[in-house]
Amino acid sequence: MAKKPTAPAAPSAATSSGAVSPETVLREPAEKRYADQLEALRQNDTETPPTNWKLSPRSVLTYVIGGKTLKATIGGKSVEVPITRKFFGDDGVVERSIVTLASERALLLVGEPGTGKSWLSEHLAAAICGTSLLTIQGTAGTTEEHIKYSWNIARVIAEGPTAQNMIASPAMIAMKGGALLRFEELTRCVPDVQDALVSILSDKAVAVPELPGDAMVFAKPGFNIIATANTRDQGVNELSAALKRRFNYVYIPIVGDQKTEVKIVQQRSAELLERYNLPAKLSPPVIELLATVFREIRNGKTSDGVSIKKPSTTLSTAEAIGVALDAALHARFFGGGEVGPADIARNMVGAVVKEDQEDKVALKEYATVVAKKRGAKDKSWKEFHDALVEQL
């Protein structure tokens, strides 16, 4: 018998030159990326967690907001593990979210695009049930099968519907394991699909009429749902009154002050530069300039109180992080390796001007009214202004 051909060898192990090991992935889930922090919190947790929770509510809060250093045994060694801050918004938002998930009601995180709803959802799931991977991504193409279950058609034809031939959805897996289901962009789903959640949230069970007898899958303690929805999608597919009653709404606002926004951009940019193995330098003054530009254009008013035109785009903190990363890539591959104000300006246009070309007017006004004036006294602002005018 001929030998089965073998698959090509995997790439060699990671080196500083840019090669990656077979174990390397582009983005690890939170439970793997912050495994040491979660383990340190578990070892130091003195309170009793709710049924099927990995950590107590207080430890979940500590994991999300950070600010502590804990002693723990990791890999057989006694080490000190700093718990870093994951969410820079209002701590009260995190507390309300945790309390909701410990109750019978599901949690709906609502806010503008890019305010960290999915980020918070992922970290809550990682800390509470140990996995953030039980996720349904809501789209116009999401069906009831994605929420409940489907079938292995070939085996059903051969053997008929049996429990072994059923393909459980992430929701059903979460129910069976007493875990959290993450439902992203809930309002992107059509109403008929949304309503499939009503029975899950009210009865905590899913009926499987294709199986003989009274086949039901019941949720175990600890099961709940974290859903997210963008306020800009309101009116696309409104939730029914029945579904709204079963969710506790928690609003995630845009970051309120510039210092916090600078911290977020600085931390997340550093994490992304490390992930992409980019030896580019992104200095605090450049991040400060980026945050200032985003905040002033987003608010339609400068720090001096001058009113300017607002674009139709949100200009969230997440987009500021994207601009910082793009600027770092540009500086690394086509510049001297250090991100300057000009690199920020070159990557600003795509963030501000999307579908509506009228938004370019807002950017031009900012360049003329604000950046040019500041550039007369500050070299960094002059570099930013000159590069922005060149792009426009």
| Chain-centroid distance, C-alpha 339 | 25
Instruction: Output phi, psi for 95, to 5 deg.
Output: -60, -45
Full pLDDT tens readout for the chain, 392 residues: 444 444 444 444 444 444 445 467 788 999 999 999 999 999 999 999 999 999 999 999 999 999 999 999 998 899 999 999 999 888 899 999 999 999 988 999 998 888 889 999 999 999 999 999 999 999 888 998 999 999 999 998 998 888 889 999 999 999 999 999 999 999 888 888 888 888 899 999 998 888 887 788 999 999 999 999 988 765 567 788 888 889 999 999 888 778 888 888 888 888 888 887 877 788 889 999 999 998 888 888 888 888 888 888 778 888 899 999 999 988 888 888 888 999 999 888 888 887 777 788 888 888 888 888 888 888 999 999 998 888 87
Quote the distance between the C-alpha of residue 164 and its chain's center. Answer: 34
Nearest of 185, 196, 184, 310 to residue 246 by alpha carbon:
196
Burial environment of residue 104 by CB neighbours within 10 A (0 to 12, 13 to 18, 19 or more): exposed
The gap from C-alpha 340 to its chain's centroid, in whole angstroms, comes to 27
How many whole angstroms separate alpha carbon 342 and alpha carbon 35? 38
**Closest to 101 in 3D by CA, of 145, 161, 56:** 56
User: What are the residues whose beta carbons fall under 8 Å from the beta carbon of 284, sequence distance 6 or more?
Assistant: 262, 266
Give the pLDDT score at 1: 44
Q: Please tell me the distance from the alpha carbon of residue 10 to that of residue 21, in angstroms, as a whole number.
A: 8
Residue 263, helix vs strand vs coil: helix
Distance CA 104, CA 56 (A): 17
pLDDT at 275: 81
β strands within 243-315, DSSP E: 247-252
User: Which of 143, 225, 223, 148 has the alpha carbon at shortest distance from 188?
Assistant: 143
Q: In what order do the strands lie in the sheet with 106-111?
A: 135-137, 180-184, 224-230, 106-111, 247-252
Longest dimension (CA), the chain: 81
**CA neighbor of 205 nearest in space, from 217, 214, 221:** 217
CATH superfamily of 89-252: P-loop containing nucleotide triphosphate hydrolases (3.40.50.300)
Q: Is the CB of residue 313 less than 8 Å from the CB of residue 351? A: yes
372 within 8 A of 310, measured Cβ to Cβ? no
**How far is CA 17 from each of CA 12, 13, 85, 127, 248, rounded to the nearest angstrom?**
12, 11, 30, 34, 48
Q: What integer pLDDT is reported at residue 153 of this predicted model? A: 92
Q: Whole-angstrom Cα distance, residue 338 to residue 283?
A: 8
Domain ranges of the chain: 89-252, 258-391
102, 197, 272 from 203: Cα distances, Å: 17, 10, 42
Residues paired with residue 168 on neighbouring β-strands, in sequence order: 149
